[in-house]
């Protein structure tokens, strides 16, 4: 089967279509919330209601339109994740930084979603520089083994999307109150001050957030998590482990009362493609070595988070090492940009 990787500039798929066309595009693969406020950070939740002619879905590819920037996909248990980066057509402001490149395509790969089941695929991103009334199209390629279904058709301006066989999922951009209010600065992503839950006490004998804790010959320090959007069920956690002993050890599992599951992940970027995978065997901590879990590299992935992490909160975790046993650690929740 021939596949194509997308590099370079993303294409402008922010298209103006009539209200009739927008209503008609509501078929098959669609967004849970079909509207997005101007200049806001959102969770774009794609709904996948079925497979390909009865076959299970094994890969989902989503091309991102110009004007949907700083995109971060939500990992899914059992799926590998790729983020293909390229050039934007315009330059965007990200908290004072001028950004010209970013994610242009998201791929969830090597999964197995039966035709009998429904699932969602979530991308966090910011709608930036897009006029109210614009429809942002997100062409989707759904793969079921060797069978491929493309959801990429757009109605012509003034046309009726009801007649389209495979319409692309659309988000309609709407004006918000005070136009320009950005969830990235207020809704759990970059808040200041201490709000929401503080679960330090739930960690038993754990040291206060940010302090170094020990487990045998291991020293664990610099623990922090990133703030999340309201409703976002996945979060990231980070810390540093130093092995002062003469025996290799291994981080084998992590638990937390803040989430239904904590997975250990690795992320790497090669040729503008970022890949993330779960490390089911954990992380080796060699004797005399230091291993750092940090954004863009090794990290914890909190799945099914009960209450989204807010800046200023603390999140307790229990780390289990192969030889050093269990140790409680408290992560300080920082802004979405981390350290």
**Which is more confidently placed, 200 or 246?**
246
What average pLDDT score do residues 218-237 get?
Answer: 88
CA dihedral 185, 189, 193, 198 (to 10 degrees): 160
Measure the CA–CA gap between 216 and 14, rounded to whole angstroms. 56
Helices (H), 135-213: 183-186
Residue range 140-195, pLDDT digits in tens: 999 999 999 999 998 876 556 667 889 999 999 999 765 444 443 333 333 223 33
Q: Could you tell me the CA-to-CA distances from 266 to 16, 75, 118, 323 in Å, in that order? A: 40, 12, 27, 22
Model pLDDT, residue 335? 83
Asked if 230 and 308 count as a contact pair (C-beta separation under 8 A), the reply is: yes
Model pLDDT, residue 158? 53
Q: Could you tell me the CA-to-CA distances from 183 to 31, 36, 59, 136, 309 in Å, in that order? A: 19, 12, 30, 19, 14
Residue 22 phi, psi (nearest 5):
-60, -45
What average pLDDT score do residues 113-135 get?
Answer: 93
- Work out the percent of the chain whose per-residue pLDDT is above 70: 79
Asked if 126 and 173 count as a contact pair (C-beta separation under 8 A), the reply is: no
51-55, 185-189, 209-213: which has the minimum mean pLDDT? 185-189
Task: List the one residue out of 218, 284, 214 whose CA is nearest residue 245.
Answer: 218
7 by Cβ neighbours in 10 Å (0-12 / 13-18 / 19+) ranks as middle
Model pLDDT, residue 161? 62
Whether 22 has a pLDDT exceeding 90, the answer reads no
């Amino acid at each position: 089967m021939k596949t194509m990787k997308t590099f370079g500039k993303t294409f402008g798929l922010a298209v103006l279509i009539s209200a009739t066309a927008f209503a008609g595009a509501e078929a098959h693969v669609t967004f849970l919330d079909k509207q997005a406020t101007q200049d806001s950070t959102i969770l774009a939740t794609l709904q996948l209601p079925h497979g390909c002619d009865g076959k299970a879905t094994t890969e989902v590819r989503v091309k991102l339109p110009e004007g949907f920037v700083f995109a971060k996909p939500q990992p899914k248990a059992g799926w590998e994740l790729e983020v293909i980066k390229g050039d934007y057509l315009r330059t965007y402001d990200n908290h004072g930084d001028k950004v010209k490149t970013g994610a242009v395509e998201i791929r969830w790969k090597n999964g197995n979603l039966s035709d009998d089941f429904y699932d969602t695929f979530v991308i966090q991103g910011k709608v930036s520089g897009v006029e109210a009334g614009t429809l942002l199209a997100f062409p989707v390629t759904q793969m079921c083994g060797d069978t491929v279904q493309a959801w990429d058709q757009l109605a012509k301006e003034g046309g009726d999307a009801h007649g389209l066989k495979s319409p692309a999922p659309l988000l309609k951009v709407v004006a918000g109150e005070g136009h320009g209010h950005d969830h990235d600065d207020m809704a759990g992503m970059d808040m200041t001050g201490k709000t929401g839950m503080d679960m330090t006490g739930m960690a038993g004998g754990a040291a206060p957030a940010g302090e170094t804790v020990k487990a045998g010959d291991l020293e664990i320090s610099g623990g922090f998590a990133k703030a999340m959007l309201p409703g976002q069920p996945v979060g990231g956690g980070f810390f540093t482990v130093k092995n002062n002993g003469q025996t290799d050890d291994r981080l084998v599992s992590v638990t937390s009362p803040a989430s239904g599951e904590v997975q250990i992940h690795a992320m790497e970027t090669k040729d503008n493609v970022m890949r993330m995978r779960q490390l089911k065997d954990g992380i080796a901590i060699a004797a005399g070595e230091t291993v750092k879990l940090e954004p863009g590299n090794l990290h914890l992935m909190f799945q099914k988070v009960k209450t989204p992490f807010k800046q200023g909160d603390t999140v307790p975790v229990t780390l289990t090492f192969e030889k050093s046993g269990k140790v409680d650690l408290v992560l300080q929740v920082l802004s979405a940009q981390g350290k």
